Amino acid sequence: MAGPLHGVRVVEFAGLGPGPFCAMLLADLGAEVLRIVRPGVAPDPQDITTRSRRQVAIDLRGPDGQAAALALIDKADLLVEGFRPGVMERLGLGPDDCLARNPRLVYGRMTGWGQHGPLAKAAGHDINYIAISGALHAIGRAGEAPVPPLNYVGDFGGGGMLLAVGLLAALHEAGRSGRGQVIDAAMTDGTALLSAFMYGFKAKGQWSNQRGENMLDGGAHFYDTYACADGKYVAIGAIEPQFYAELRERCGIHDPLFDGQMDPARWPLLKLRLADVFRTRTRDEWCALLEGTDACFAPVLDWDEAPQHAHNRARGTFTEVDGVVQPAPAPRFSRSTPTEPMAPQAASLDEVLAAWGAKV
C-alpha cells in the first residue's frame, strides 16, 4: 500500500518551517505533494522536511507562472501556503481565485499570528508566537529566564501539525459536502491549544505562574532530569505512587523525607538529595538498573545516540535516506502502510502538468 492518503493531491508553496513540515506529514502518509519553488532552487536532501515529493520551479511574479500554478491547483485536493496575509492574493492565487476554479479545494494557510488580528501582518518567529500564548513563560528553571523549547511548540506542534489536522478534517468534510474551505492555522492559536492541559491545572489551582515550581515543569523531584557520575543525564517521571515507590526501592532510597511525595514544600530539598543519588553512578549503570522497569526512567540521549537506542531500532523510529539519518514517518498503520521516505526530486513544469492532466 502507498499510505492512507494515496490519491490525494497537494500543491505546496515553498516556505520554511511549519508549512514544509505539514506537507512532509501529508507526503509521509501517501499524498502526492507537489512543491512549487522559486527558479534556481535545487532539491536539498538534507532538508528533511522537503522529503518524499517532487518540486517544480515556477516564477509566480509573472502571468505565465501564475497561470501554471492555477492549472495545477485546479487538479489539487489540498493547498499549503505560509506567506504573510495578502501575499497570495496579490499573486492572484488567493482563496477566492482558487476556490472559484476548484470549489472542492481545501486551502491551508500557515502563519504565526493568523489571518486577522492586530499583529497579523507583523514579522515574527516561533519564540514570539509562543510568548503571547502563555507557553514560553512556563518553560524554564525557577528564578531564571524562560527557555526557548527549540521550535517544537510553535512552528511544529502548534503550527504544522495543527494545519495538517485542519486540512484532513476539511478534506473529510469536502468528501461529504463537495465544497472546500479555507484553513486559518495560526501558531498563536495552536500553541494556546497545546497548553489546554496546563490551563486546566491552573483552573483547579494546581498550577502557578511561578516557572519551575510546578509538578511537570521541573519543580518536582520525581519529574526532572539528573546528572550522573559521567556527566550524562537521565530523565525521571515517577508521578504515580506505585511508580514512585518502585523508583525509591530500586535506587535504595529509604529516607522518610521522601514519603511526602506531593508536598511542594519538600521538593527543593528532595531534588538536592535525589541529585546526590544519581551522581553515584554513570548513566549506563542507571540504565542497567532502571531502564524497562516501572520506575518511569529513560536516559537523556543526544541526536547521535537516539537513532542507535535499542527501542528506537526495534521500532524503526529512525530511517536513512540517501545517507541522511532522519525520523521515520509516524504513526503506524496496520493496513495502509506508507512507502519509505524518498529524497526530494526536481521535475519539469511540462512533466508535472502532463502527469496531473492540467492545462494552462
**Is-contact 286 299, C-beta < 8 A?**
yes
φ and ψ of 223, to 5 deg: -140, 80
Q: Hey, is 344 helix, strand or coil? A: coil
Distance between CA 89 and CA 132 in Å, rounded? 28
Known catalytic membership, residue 304? no
Q: Is 125 a catalytic residue?
A: yes
Question: What is the distance between the alpha carbons of residues 236 and 39, in angstroms, rounded to a whole number?
Answer: 50
3-state secondary structure of 277: helix
Looking up cell 501517501, which residue turns up?
30
83, 112, 124, 129 from 137: Cα distances, Å: 27, 18, 17, 12
Q: Kindly calculate the radius of gyration of the chain based on its CA atoms and give it in whole angstroms.
A: 24
Q: How far apart are the first and last CA of the chain?
A: 32
C-alpha cell at 51: 522529503
Catalytic residue among 47, 74, 125, 309: 125
Q: Are 180 and 106 in contact (CB under 8 A)?
A: yes
What is the grid cell recorded at 138? 512556563
Question: Which of 28, 77, 126, 155 is the catalytic position?
Answer: 155
So which residues are the catalytic ones?
125, 155
